[in-house]
Amino acid sequence: MGLRNHNKLKMFENVSSATVFTLSGLYFTFEERITLFCLTLLWYLMIIFGNVALIVAIIMDKNLHEPMYIFLCNLCISALYGTVGFYPKFLLDLLSSHVISYAGCMLQGYVIHSSSCCDFSILALMAYDRYVAICRPLVYHSVMTRQRVSLFVLLSWFFPLLLMFMNSASLLGIRLCGSHIKRIYCVNWMIVTLACSPPKANSAIAYFNILFYFAHFVFIVWSYMYLIRTCISSRKWGKFIQTCMPHLISLIIFATAVLLDVMYMRFGKVEFSQNFYNFMAIQFLLIPPFVNPFIYGFQLTKVRNKILKLICFKKRDAKCHVMTFHIRGKPSN
């Protein structure tokens, strides 16, 4: 009897001090993994190219150093920050065993969570910027000063990073009764489900964060409802379509993706296929980071013109270089 209790205690200690997690969802053949690896790598490279192109276009053109484009630049930076927490590890898992260390799991969950929260904060700033620009145009420059915009950007990064740090820190040192995460990447909620006794501090912080960003969502919805009503009454519908529609489309795509993931993660049914579960888990890392640069790049006139100028300048520069080479290389008579 004593030996049995000793074995149980030893097994419990080994489980509760787990330092490596196993990720599920990658049950593919070798050929399927190679195909998925190539497609994922191509998709990730397009995400990087689209967001970096938009960031460079905004930084290089002083005419784009306005609040709306500064917020847009930070939205692209947040997308790059969030995707780097998922894609490199996912690509590595496709070619090797899908395990992750405890520290790596905590870091991955922190990066993905904080990036999503940064997106919500920046989208809220965009909504506020459009509200002031359209509903209070006479005081726009006095309200959206350079100092205030800098402060807004700083806070849009500070609060998500701080709140998600508190959420992750509340999970440090907890006892775990399992090491298998039913997901293709780590999130804090999955670690909570493995805890022998979920910490109350984590639950309190999680509910506070949910309420905090739900307030962001309510503010964004209210802002756009007010904007739509103002534009209809004052016949500014064309301006709304040109400047606000990209933000509204981006918000709908991102909010829908995040909401579906959260709802399915907490209330999803087991009978769904693993492939469907994988898609639900990565859609907010798959669709918004890829779609946003194209939405803003094609819809916002200044950004589109700047990108076209950069492309045309490079092509024209290359032609000039070729012509110069031919002239210099032409033999004299």
Q: What is the pTM of this model?
A: 0.80
pLDDT of residue 330: 43
Residue 326 CA to residue 320 CA, distance in Å, equals 10
pLDDT of residue 224: 83
Secondary structure (3-state) at 22: strand
Calculate the alpha carbon distances from 270 to 25, 195, 212, 267, 274 in Å: 13, 20, 30, 10, 9
Secondary structure (3-state) at 20: strand
Q: Kindly state the tokens that stand for 277.
A: 């579960």
DSSP 50-93: HHHHHHHHHHH-GGG-SHHHHHHHHHHHHHHHHHTTTHHHHHHH
pLDDT of residue 159: 94
Give me the helices (H) in the chain, please.
2-16, 30-60, 67-83, 87-95, 102-135, 140-143, 146-169, 188-194, 200-234, 237-239, 245-267, 274-286, 288-299, 301-329
CA atoms within 13 A on the CB side of 98: 20
Q: What averages of pLDDT result for each successive group of 10 residues across the chain (333 residues)?
A: 45 53 76 89 94 87 85 93 93 84 89 91 90 86 92 95 91 82 82 80 86 89 82 67 72 78 64 71 85 73 64 52 40 40
Domains of the chain: 2-329 (1.20.1070.10)
Residues in a beta bridge with 23: 181
Please name the amino acid found at residue 235.
R
